[in-house]
Structure 1
């Protein structure tokens, strides 16, 4: 029988799955759920060492003898500190020591309760990875717990071998030992330190075994050289490739996936779900795509991670592949007969996306965004501010050769203007920034410098506040929406822009906007240009809702 603590069950199951079965145990009550669960499982070899300082070095001796990771388990409080000398030795000897420290729930730390000291990251830089497991109360906690354990274990051998630390919050009662078996749990595997074609991971064979294959491409720099291999995987191996503008991938075949997912039924979502998911690159703009995959029944999810870092955005990763993107993608496609691969899944996505069209909106942020993007010259550099701007831009195609950028590392409001100004100062071609009013005003000092390029073009959708908040169901019912959430205002950028040497343009309707767009993008301008487009939050919200309703009707 095992402890009833779900975090403990997850930990024991994953240690066994990762073949970490040598465990050094020091006595205590807070770690008794761990001790009991290890000691009563015949697959573990357990050693009882009372002194934690000695226990840590005892575990190092086992690692030296076996060459395999070994765990050492202690109770809460200063017991954890006593493992520090062994942890330091493991770090400098590059030995895979896994420290398991029991702890009180976080709310009791510093409250003069027994054996409560801050144990989170207590070993500092002397471990490759330090995580704290939550008290598991729901499915999200369980996923988080699973991910953290996998991450800590994988970091025992990440570029360099060394120790990892798992701190486990355990609340009372501690002594319920009534669970008969360990759960079936997700095991995240990682390829070798650097993926090589000779690796015997059978990825090519596994790739071909799935009928429903999908690749999601996150944010990548321009000139990433992946369009060719992704087109090959799509055309020859019937892989569904989903990307957004920030991926800087030329494929547009499934660009309407945001609309498709928004208008699909539960059964249609099931049909669209992949069996094998491969993810590359950084952030993906679409929240709807993330939620779709998180609910899908993905069998295997391979994340290509050049650094080897464990990223589990879609809550389904099974393999972390330490490789550059192109090397791995060419590996799974190279020298393989693809004639027997069914096109059904790919055609399903293609057919369902093909019924949707770009927005044909009345004057609004949506209209202005579409007009700007459809008017861009080829090979322009496009900077997208966060929130409304980057989301609206995904609904339209971009001209060939457009280089697309956005600060999606943290998705913050700050810095979009400054980034565009810095980028334009470093290149000799046109740079266009699409931004909202709050993002622009927040970073208005971004145009307070001596490096404003005459090739810089800025279009501001000024709807008098944070327009995206009005489109979020539920939030738009808040009485605090206008004054405190959307931060409604009547500010214009005109005086500031002119003072800083910009040609200032403005538009209040579609006729004016069509004329001013031509002036904004005129290549012969000797000065930077700002176009301020005045709209309203209410009209913007109405046009977005209308667009999605039209697309849903077109599907019927």
Structure 2
């Protein structure tokens, strides 16, 4: 065989094995060393290929695709620092449990650590931030090379999608020349399939859960971000039978599309309620059942730390369950699946007065939030205006820092079909634009990104993706000229150096950026202007709405709202 024939067989065995394992989407960044892979993916009709020239943004684009589709997505890049630019998204994927298959093309072994250009040490480049890594052999005629490639690709995909899902790294060295013969059909493989197994709890675990429920007097359920492919109807069925207060984080997908018989038990204002000392006393519980990740809400975390519930049960598919508070008393390793329907729920001991207190307090807070939305003009009120005007069957992506907190505070529970996404694994502001675009490309729904000016600047390169594939998305930039989140933290109490270190105003606006990407651009200052823009038909697939806000006004308005809620809670429960 010629060198070109050997390389072609090798690359198509790799690509065909990915397809056989169920991979359909691939994000490619240009580069020389990855030429064989790029050509094979581009020519294979079995794959949907997306392009992004900035590798950091490309990795977050793939993250968004995998997050929204709940399927593994392949990343392809050339050697050197291109691979290093994937690192932030890989960290987020590991912590958020998103399946990425990272293919990094590499120099051949003889060009490693000898000063060759564009060559860094790529094997084990991502360390513990990937679930598994493998350094592939160079393409050759050795009989076991192609079977090795086929089975190790099957292994890589299986590891990536097995709960808890996460990224894997396949390092692929190539010698020059790098051109292949384009094939119109993927080759057949000898490996049939890797069959995943559902993680179900043991009979003992089921008995423990049933006993905990039966003995609980004052119990609450907390639902954080759960696996994107989880069957929510199973969760709803559990809620409707348990009839406990359910504190739902916005990323749980349980604040929206709520069944009528579950609405009363959904507590969406817990963040505001647990800022009040009086209600925290009323809310003390003996039992907590938590599904998914730990919540965003700091008041909730502080409340749980303070009361140390005697029984705190976590259901998580990973034996290394998430518990930064060190308060878990029981852990059940399981995915959310049909086993939950088999739990016998006996709630004879449930304190109904306690349940009603949560429901009534949530109604109080909701009234104040709704009044606030009518009267206030700050960033929170503007964000809430966006939430109210999201159309049916749409997606909202929230950036870290203030946007996700505004979602947690002002996105009221609803029967509308809206799905909310965010990068809350590492909570960074890097790659937010790209991840949001990735989710839109996966869902094909009406998509909105709520983001601050600094996070938007941080990933403005993410907009390059809109030049290579149609991205139908509205980006709402809350421009408060700096880092708004720090206004709520202790740093804001030290005036000296605050602005230069934390406020970090840039004085930048985004009209020219929108023009560069041929985006529709609207600048708004009021809720009325925002409503008018949101209600008007889009003129272009990419729309950027820049909302001008004031950091100090935002803090004052938020605190006024929390005070008004706290005052009524005091009046009701201090009597």
TM-score (norm 2): 0.58
Q: 1:548 and 1:340, CA in 2 relative to 1: closer, same or farther beyond 3 A?
A: closer
Correspondence 1:372 to 2:386: yes
Q: Deviations over 1:199-225 (max 9, x none)?
A: 675331232111112211111255632
Q: Deviations over 1:88-113 (max 9, x none)?
A: xxxxxxxxxxxxxxxxxxxxxxxxxx
SS at match of 1:262: coil
- CA contact under 8 A between 1:469 and 1:476: conserved in structure 2? no
SS at match of 1:479: coil
Q: 1:338 and 1:362, CA in 2 relative to 1: closer, same or farther beyond 3 A?
A: closer
- CA contact under 8 A between 2:401 and 2:485: conserved in structure 1? yes
Residue 321 (structure 1) aligned to one of 332, 336, 360: 332
- CA contact under 8 A between 1:222 and 1:248: conserved in structure 2? no
How far off its partner does 1:473 sit?
Answer: 4.4
Correspondence 1:211 to 2:217: yes
- CA contact under 8 A between 1:454 and 1:526: conserved in structure 2? no
Residue 296 (structure 2) aligned to one of 274, 285, 288: 285
Q: 1:241 and 1:460, CA in 2 relative to 1: closer, same or farther beyond 3 A?
A: same
Q: 1:464 and 1:294, CA in 2 relative to 1: closer, same or farther beyond 3 A?
A: same
Correspondence 1:353 to 2:370: no
- CA contact under 8 A between 2:474 and 2:544: conserved in structure 1? yes
SS at match of 2:509: coil
Q: Which residue of 1 aligns with 2:503?
A: 486
Q: How well do the aligned residues superpose, as a CA RMSD in angstroms?
A: 2.7
Correspondence 1:397 to 2:397: no
Q: In structure 2, how many angstroms separate the alpha carbons of the residues matched to 1:471 and 1:200?
A: 42
Q: In structure 1, how many angstroms separate the alpha carbons of the residues matched to 2:489 and 2:241?
A: 40
Q: Which residue of 2 aligns with 1:385?
A: 399
SS at match of 2:275: helix
- CA contact under 8 A between 2:230 and 2:337: conserved in structure 1? no
SS at match of 1:202: helix
Q: Which residue of 2 aligns with 1:14?
A: none
Q: 1:474 and 1:481, CA in 2 relative to 1: closer, same or farther beyond 3 A?
A: closer
Q: Which residue of 2 aligns with 1:45?
A: none
Correspondence 1:529 to 2:543: yes
How far off its partner does 1:376 sit?
Answer: 0.4
Q: In structure 2, how many angstroms separate the alpha carbons of the residues matched to 1:230 and 1:302?
A: 16
SS at match of 2:313: strand
- CA contact under 8 A between 1:464 and 1:490: conserved in structure 2? yes
Correspondence 1:443 to 2:459: yes
How far off its partner does 1:452 sit?
Answer: 5.3
Q: In structure 2, how many angstroms separate the alpha carbons of the residues matched to 1:229 and 1:240?
A: 17
Q: In structure 2, how many angstroms separate the alpha carbons of the residues matched to 1:525 and 1:220?
A: 35
User: Structure 1: where are the runs of 5+ without partners?
Assistant: 1-123, 129-158, 160-192
Q: In structure 1, how many angstroms separate the alpha carbons of the residues matched to 2:240 and 2:353?
A: 13
TM-score (norm 1): 0.60
Q: Which residue of 1 aligns with 2:533?
A: 516
Higher relative contact order (CA 8 A, sep 6+): 2
Q: 1:426 and 1:297, CA in 2 relative to 1: closer, same or farther beyond 3 A?
A: closer
Higher helix proportion (structure 1 or 2)? 2
Residue 246 (structure 2) aligned to one of 241, 245, 250: 241
- CA contact under 8 A between 1:424 and 1:453: conserved in structure 2? no
SS at match of 2:384: helix
Q: Which residue of 1 aligns with 2:488?
A: 471
Q: In structure 2, how many angstroms separate the alpha carbons of the residues matched to 1:544 and 1:423?
A: 30
* 1:84-123 paired onto structure 2 within 5 Å: none
Q: In structure 2, how many angstroms separate the alpha carbons of the residues matched to 1:313 and 1:534?
A: 36
Q: Which residue of 1 aligns with 2:446?
A: 430
Q: 1:474 and 1:429, CA in 2 relative to 1: closer, same or farther beyond 3 A?
A: closer
- CA contact under 8 A between 2:440 and 2:447: conserved in structure 1? yes
User: Structure 2: where are the runs of 5+ without partners?
Assistant: 1-126, 132-162, 164-198
How far off its partner does 1:348 sit?
Answer: 1.8
Q: Which residue of 2 aligns with 1:254?
A: 267
